[in-house]
A and B are shown apart, each in its own frame.
Chain A
């Protein structure tokens, strides 16, 4: 370990592992350490014994839940957009070959006390009970505009400059009512509040397009895919990529203290009395607590069930979005469900998560509207945790700190953070224009 490295990476969360992989591929000499004995940091997937150790002070999990080993419960549950940025990174790096994906069965939205399938294109709009007859026709026209919109084809813009026109104005052109705007904004464009309405419409249109194109990708009922054995496989896959390109891995390293010189520049990392010298340090917020600030708090419940979420067409995997206004909140709430069909639980078992940005200190009360939709649960954990953002300047201290995993139900922001960090670390841009069809083979073979 007493060697000199270009970069020492601390923590094996998804962001750190993607970076470690990209940096090693780029020819840098990387040492990657974690204080834990396992891969994944905050974004790991835990088995039953690990879960009970963490949330139940070491009690033994009940026998009726089955074998501990068969569980892979995500700590940061998210789904992957089939055409999204993470899929591009996976194809770009060829990490797809270490993983198997399967489509997520369903995507739903909560409206007036009921769960509805999310309509995502002109055809589905015509069938959806979420809208009345005339509204359906208006929505259909809007979807056709979005589907046809191409950045580099001015004809498809219909005379609108989406860098100037706001989302609100675009919507009013089609005369959509508030109900429709809500599910399009929150369940398709995946905004967590309504601030987007007064922003230029381009981002809005692109998000709806991403949703629709991802949905069209596989013949599933949702635009999402998810890895077999849980999200914890992702950091492991990228760690392997890093190792394949010469990255050195050390887990279970206590302390991992970043060393600074008299000018406040990081020059190495010490663990167990040995210092690894390096030019740069990359880490998650927990390794440099003095260089981050708290920016939010998450409330979540992890629920063990023996049935799918009711009213989701028996989906073995599903997402349900509960828009803020439906619950009288300032931010949306989400339900995720996964099961043995993605090898994250034994046969017949389902894991559901209820998640939201915490607005109070009482997750039990706050999450109740979501939990009420689940039906009977076999076991439930409540948890809140803080979210951090870096406050340092990397040109001053040579430290590159990731932002805590955010509220989004998917990985678009995760990858944006990684790409920005990569450019800061290397001074290079990452070109992610890849052939997306390369991934369909991997996913199809699972069908």
Chain B
């Protein structure tokens, strides 16, 4: 793990959590491929993405884990959380239900995950303002109480998507010596 000079190569696991249909896959596809699909199919067949990002003086290879449906009956395997450096919990601003469930995911992360995991709360589908059920302050307040970074996103319009991932990079950079960042 010893690293010298300014040339760092880091690898970091990032997990996505949130109810079915909140936009987990859409957010990643927006970030990784710059695309959005109005009819994104429920995730089958691909639930693992990698993306390499260059920071000021380091390169981070993100391994992004999408849930693949095991969350439906609360059967996510511990391996899913294992070694995760960051977790993004996602809800859909048009569904109060998905917000309630997001809180459950945060609790589960606190119980199961690595204690140093950096948590982000993403209020997705911010483009659907007219159907909003969860107020901005509600999300903000909850994130603050739980020491999470909060952002309202839209995978559709790309609003705040890059910002979200930029924030994740920054958090990695600041924990330069954290043991969950494997040097490649």
Contacts and interface: CB of A to CB of B under 8 A. Distances in A.
A244 B80 CA distance: 13
Contacts of A229: 79, 82
B70 A243 contact: yes
A239 B68 CA distance: 10
A236 B45 contact: no
A246 B47 CA distance: 11
Chain A interface residue count: which class?
A: 10 to 19
Contacts of B46: 244
Interface in A233-271: 233, 236-237, 239-240, 243-246, 248-251
A101 interface: no
Nearest to A246: B44
Nearest to B50: A97
A98 interface: yes
Contacts of B166: none
B69 A236 contact: no
Interface string A50-68: 0000000000000000000
Contacts of A97: 48, 63
Contacts of B182: 445
Contacts of B80: 236, 240
Most buried by A among B43, B73, B77, B184: B77
A273 to B, nearest CB: 16
B6 interface: no
Contact of A240 (B44, B63, B74, B77): B77
B37 interface: no
B69 A243 contact: yes
Contact of B73 (A246, A249, A445): A249
B79 A245 contact: no
Given A39-B77, A233-B79, A237-B79, A249 B70 contact: yes
Contacts of A236: 77-80
Nearest to B80: A240
Describe B's contact surface by its main secondary structure: loop
B75 A245 contact: no
B72 interface: yes
Given A39-B77, A229-B82, A240-B68, A245 B44 contact: yes
Contact of B79 (A240, A244, A249, A251): A240
Contacts of A245: 44-45
Residue among A245, A249, A250 with the most chain B CB within 10 A?
A249
Interface string B32-50: 0000000000011111100
A249 B75 contact: yes
Interface residues of B, number: 21
Interface in B97-129: none
Contacts of B70: 239-240, 243, 249
A312 to B, nearest CB: 26
Interface in A250-303: 250-251
Nearest to A241: B68
A248 B82 contact: no
A251 to B, nearest CB: 5
A244 B47 contact: yes
Contacts of B75: 249-251
A430 B143 CA distance: 48
Contacts of A248: 69, 72-73
Residue of B48, B70, B82, B184 with highest tally of chain A CB at under 10 A: B70
B1 to A, nearest CB: 12
Interface string A292-321: 000000000000000000000000000000
Nearest to B48: A97
Contacts of B184: 445
A245 B184 CA distance: 30
Contacts of B78: 38-39, 236
A399 B184 CA distance: 46
Interface-central residue, B45, B47, B79, B184, by most chain A CB under 10 Å:
B79
B24 to A, nearest CB: 13
Contacts of A244: 43-48, 68-69
A98 B73 contact: no
- Of listed A98, A239, A244, A251, residue having the most chain B CB within 10 A: A244
Interface string B51-76: 00000000000010000111011110
A237 B68 CA distance: 12
B62 to A, nearest CB: 13
Interface string A204-229: 00000000000000000000000001
A233 B47 CA distance: 17
A244 to B, nearest CB: 4
Given A244-B46, A244-B47, A98 B79 contact: yes
B79 A246 contact: no
Which of B43, B68, B74 is the most central at the interface, judged by chain A CB atoms within 10 Å of its CB?
Answer: B68
Contacts of A251: 73-75
Contacts of A250: 73, 75
B25 to A, nearest CB: 12
Interface centre among B63, B74, B78, B80 (most CB of A within 10 A): B78
Contacts of B82: 229, 233
A98 B75 CA distance: 17
A240 B46 CA distance: 11
A280 B40 CA distance: 31
Interface of B: 43-48, 63, 68-70, 72-75, 77-80, 82, 182, 184
6 contacts: A39-B78, A240-B68, A240-B70, A244-B44, A245-B45, A251-B75
Given A236-B77, A251-B74, 5 more contacts: A239-B70, A244-B69, A248-B72, A249-B72, A250-B73
Pairs A-B, 5 closest by C-beta atoms? A249-B75, A236-B77, A236-B79, A243-B68, A244-B68
